């Protein structure tokens, strides 16, 4: 390290900010932050928090660098392939800021590990790409009252929020389960490896997560607690959606929200009819159909970006089983859109007039 570099020089541009003084920097210096996942989101989160001067950063991941990571995971290069992500990340972060401490945990998270870890930290940042980890992180953070900075990416869209952090309306904040009360069916839950992702997206979302963590720690500005920020890379647009606490006693009723055939007919005649989607297989549709778009259940992840966000969506199948799964999946990736399914499917339509498609 150049002997001419001091902490006051390192953070000089912070101190030029209105209201940002040594007391604020000390809050960052004293903070302990857990970053779970060192992939596309974890890399920019760790880079900017290291630069900001977070005193203790703990990286938790057991993955190794692969060639397919390199277009978006900016801490790594081709020489890193096959090596542990956290080892490379720790060395590079320490080189970026010698005034902080980096700790590594070479494990994939599970409920017990999180229970052991969570009390040590002031903030936890979810940079994972699977639902099991997200729910485990959320539940542990909620148990110990640790603010959780959430991030998620899917193809061209990303989401950011802050959970378990007080708001005026909710003194204990909201939970990830208030956004998504349960995970979609495993067969439909895709990560970047399955669905693909534009390389810049995790950079945008991860940087926003780092910004939220800084605000939580310092008290500067207004956090996204109580809100969900969505970002669409194709249109370069954002939406800030207000969240509300779910009545968890009614979750199962909500998740089975359905619509009967007669109500569907009326809805389709309205000024702004819902989008109707048939999730059956092609041979079933050819034998009997009430119309709508045809997207088989297994193909939904490839078509979700094409679905409108400004209309309700109603899904149907033969008996209602597949459409209920489709609803769970669509709700997990289309926040703010009302999604229903046809109760009992076509089988429950009691001989309705299918000669005139909806």
Residues carrying an active site annotation = 192, 317
Helices (H), 241-334: 251-255, 261-268, 282-287, 300-303, 321-333
- Phi then psi for residue 336, to 5 deg, are 85, 0
Structure tokens, 35? 């970053």
| Strand locations in 138-187 (E) | 148-154, 157-163
Q: Is 233 helix (H, G, I), strand (E, B) or coil?
A: coil
Separation of alpha carbons 214 and 210, rounded Å: 6
Nearest to 304 by CA among 274, 327, 281: 327
Rounded to 5 degrees, φ, ψ at 331 are -65, -30
Torsion angle, alpha carbons of 119, 61, 49, 101, to 10:
70
Beta strands (DSSP E) in the chain are 32-36, 56-60, 101-105, 123-126, 148-154, 157-163, 227-232, 237-242, 258-259, 275-278, 293-294, 313-316, 339-342
Please state the φ and ψ torsions of residue 155, each to the nearest 5 degrees.
Answer: 60, -95
In terms of Cβ atoms closer than 10 Å to its own Cβ (0-12, 13-18, 19+), residue 171 is exposed
CA-to-CA distance for 58 and 75, rounded, in angstroms? Answer: 16
| Helix (H/G/I), strand (E/B), else coil: 277 | strand
Please tell me the distance from the alpha carbon of residue 313 to that of residue 274, in angstroms, as a whole number: 5
Nearest to 68 by CA among 40, 45, 44: 40
DSSP character string of 7-58? HHHHTHHHHTSTT--HHHHHHHHH-EEEEE--STTHHHHHHHHHHHT-SEEE
């Amino acid at each position: 390290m150049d002997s001419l570099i001091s902490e006051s020089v390192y953070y000089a541009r912070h101190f030029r900010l209105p209201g940002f003084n040594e007391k604020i920097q000390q809050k960052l210096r004293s903070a302990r932050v857990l970053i779970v996942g060192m992939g596309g989101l974890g890399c920019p989160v760790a880079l900017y928090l290291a630069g900001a001067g977070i005193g203790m950063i703990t990286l938790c991941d057991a993955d190794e660098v692969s060639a397919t990571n390199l277009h978006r995971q900016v801490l790594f290069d081709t020489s890193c392939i096959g090596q542990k992500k956290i080892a490379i990340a720790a060395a590079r972060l320490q080189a970026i800021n010698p005034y902080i401490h980096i700790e590594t945990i070479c494990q994939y998270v599970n409920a017990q590990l999180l229970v052991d870890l969570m009390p040590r930290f002031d903030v936890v940042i979810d940079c994972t790409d699977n639902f099991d980890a997200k729910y485990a992180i959320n539940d542990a953070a909620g148990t110990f009252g640790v603010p959780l900075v959430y991030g998620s990416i899917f193809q061209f869209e990303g989401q950011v929020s802050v959970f378990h952090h007080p708001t005026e309306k909710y003194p204990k904040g909201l939970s990830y389960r208030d956004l998504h009360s349960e995970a979609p069916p495993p067969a439909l839950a895709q990560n970047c490896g399955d669905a693909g992702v534009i390389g810049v997206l995790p950079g945008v979302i991860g940087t926003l997560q780092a910004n939220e963590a800084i605000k939580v720690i310092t008290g500067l500005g207004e956090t996204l607690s109580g809100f969900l920020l969505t970002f669409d890379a194709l249109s370069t647009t954002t939406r800030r959606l207000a969240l509300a606490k779910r009545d968890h006693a009614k979750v199962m009723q909500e998740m089975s929200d359905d619509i009967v055939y007669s109500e569907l007919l009326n809805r389709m005649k309205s000024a702004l009819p819902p989008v109707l989607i048939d999730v059956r297989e092609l041979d079933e549709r050819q034998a009997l159909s009430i119309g709508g778009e045809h997207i088989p259940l297994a193909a939904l992840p490839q078509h979700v970006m094409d679905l409108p966000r400004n209309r309700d969506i109603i899904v149907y199948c033969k008996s209602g089983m597949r459409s209920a799964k489709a609803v769970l999946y669509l709700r997990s990736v289309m926040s703010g859109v009302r999604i229903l399914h046809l109760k009992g499917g076509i089988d429950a339509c009691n001989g309705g007039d299918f000669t005139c498609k909806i």
